[in-house]
């Protein structure tokens, strides 16, 4: 059955140039300028996995390897609120960087730890929007393949 569907699609694709459809569509709407694409972004610096428990400057990471990601994310938000509420973004940035976060201060303060461990990607983030003092924190975990 699959072969018949594939053969039918292949036959239709082969008829497109003969049908004049390509001429009716005209040129593609996307310009082709070979060699004009910007270079790929520089690879990010490799970050180390945070410790389980307390970080170098007192940030409580907890037992993140064995935690349920949803419950851990909520706990992280509560910890960040208690630790950084009503503090200046510069103060928060210094503390997070002392605990292993990499920060960018553009339209907002965005601090992250992004690591790969075995087949899982982990992402801790703390964001403070301009004009606000309440930080938003989160944790994401994405694993490839089956877990054993």
The predicted-structure confidence for 94-119, as pLDDT tens digits, reads as follows 999 999 999 998 889 999 999 999 89
For 21, 38, 41, 80, 134, the CA distances from 130, given in Å and listed in that order, are: 52, 30, 26, 17, 10
- Percent of the chain whose predicted confidence (pLDDT) is above 90: 52
Among 28-37, 72-81, 130-139, the least confident range = 28-37
Which stretch of DSSP H or E encloses residue 125?
A: strand 120-129
Predicted confidence at residue 112, as pLDDT, reads: 96
* 132's tokens: 């606000």
Mean pLDDT of the chain: 81
pLDDT one-digit tens code per residue, 71-89: 999 999 999 999 998 899 9
């Amino acid at each position: 059955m699959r072969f018949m569907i594939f053969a039918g699609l292949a036959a239709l694709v082969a008829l497109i140039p003969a049908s004049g459809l390509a001429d009716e569509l005209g040129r593609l709407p996307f310009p082709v300028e070979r060699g004009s694409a910007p270079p790929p972004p520089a690879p990010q610096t490799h970050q180390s996995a945070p410790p389980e428990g307390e970080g170098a400057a007192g940030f409580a990471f907890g037992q993140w390897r064995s935690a349920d990601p949803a419950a851990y994310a909520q706990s992280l938000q509560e910890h960040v609120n208690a630790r950084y509420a009503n503090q200046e973004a510069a103060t928060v940035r210094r503390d997070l960087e002392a605990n292993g976060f990499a920060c960018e201060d553009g339209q907002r303060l965005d601090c992250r730890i992004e690591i790969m461990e075995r087949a899982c990607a982990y992402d801790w983030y703390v964001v403070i929007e301009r004009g606000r003092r309440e930080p938003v924190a989160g944790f994401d975990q994405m694993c490839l393949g089956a877990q054993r």
